Amino acid sequence: MKKFVVFMLVIFMSFPAFIKADNLTLAPNSKSAIMLEVSTGEILFEKNSHERLHPASMTKMMSLLLIMESIEKNIIKLDDMVTVSSNASGMGGSQILLETNEQMSVDDLIKGVTIASGNDAVVALAERIAGTEEEFVNMMNNKVKELGLNDTNFKNSHGLDAANHYSSAYDMSIIAKELVKHEKILEYSRIYEMYLRENTDRKIWLVNTNKLVRFYNGVDGLKTGYTKEAGYCLTATAKKNDMRIITVVMGEPDSSTRNSEVTGMLDYAFSQYEIEKLLSKESIIGETLVEKGTNKYVKLVPTSDVTVLNKKINGKKNATYEVEVDNIIAPVTKGSIVGKLHIKEDDNLTRTIDITVSEDVKKANLFELYLRYLKEILIGDVGI
């Protein structure tokens, strides 16, 4: 591996690192809570965030994550029709009143999950993807391991209380952060009300269980939850001025308190913080040799925008980056991971982002390599 370094000074003045909101009176009635900014992953506030609690229907965020991944992998399609099993139609709790052997599209079932928190809908989708709900739950727990979460274990896809079914506010926030990468899900979760089976005698009106979708500007998701053991839970996400915040509260005493405390958390985040873009996905961060390529060199770009979270008042950070790139041998395609971009804020390494190439580079044939060799002999820069 070869390594080269580029530093960029973003802010001209350095201020002391700002203090997280741990000492503020946020979510005082919750058993646990957390708030983070999505693009940086920076935690703005946390309270008992690793305590293992019943997640209730926030469980469905993991189910939805696997559902969205299955759609992107063409395992299922939005217009696929799903035949509802007796197991799915027999689910208790919140439901969209599916009947055994009824057929409903994947698209409508997702609406039933995201808007109405339908237990029957999520089980129908789980069975369609994995064959059985049990196997789908295995997939959920495998994803937990993949994400490196330590305080979550699922026993079902819907969130009804069960022995050894638990999660934490921190783990829920990471699942939510992964879920919102699939922007399609927000097209569903931002819907406040709609009808399913419209123009039939079994029409059902769906109203979003997350009232903040309607009553807080910028909220477009994500998932509520309630059981007797869990209390009132909510993972909410909102975006303003290119900054997306995720909040999680667990074990609230009632839905009114839950909504009020999440509102307070969001108000704090948007009033105190702002996002600054350090690099975009199109930013050229360096150039490197491509061995045996039709082009000798290729430019390097990040795989995602790189942002810095600043406190609005006296909170600007000095941000730099370091590029580490592998040896590249043609062919190489745009999107292939060829190195790492290490982000530092006030001299502290905060995160690492993948690097790719700005364009495809094909493998050169022997004749092309020979011509290049002759040319470089003449100019004194031999290398292939």
Catalytic residues: 57, 60, 117
Residue given tokens 């937990």 in the structure block: 144
Q: Helix %, strand %, coil % for the chain, to 5?
A: 30, 30, 40
Gap between the Cα atoms of 179 and 197, Å rounded: 27
Short-list 142, 141, 123, 143, CA closest to 133: 123
CB distance 324 to 339 below 8 Å = yes
The encoded tokens of residue 169 equal 């506010």
Decide: 241 and 272 in contact? Cβ < 8 Å. no
Side-chain half-sphere exposure of 282, counting CA atoms within 13 A: 0
β-bridge mates for residue 265, sequence order: none
- Compute, in degrees rounded to 10, the torsion defined by CA atoms 24, 28, 33, 36: -30
**CA pair distance 281, 125, nearest whole angstrom:** 34
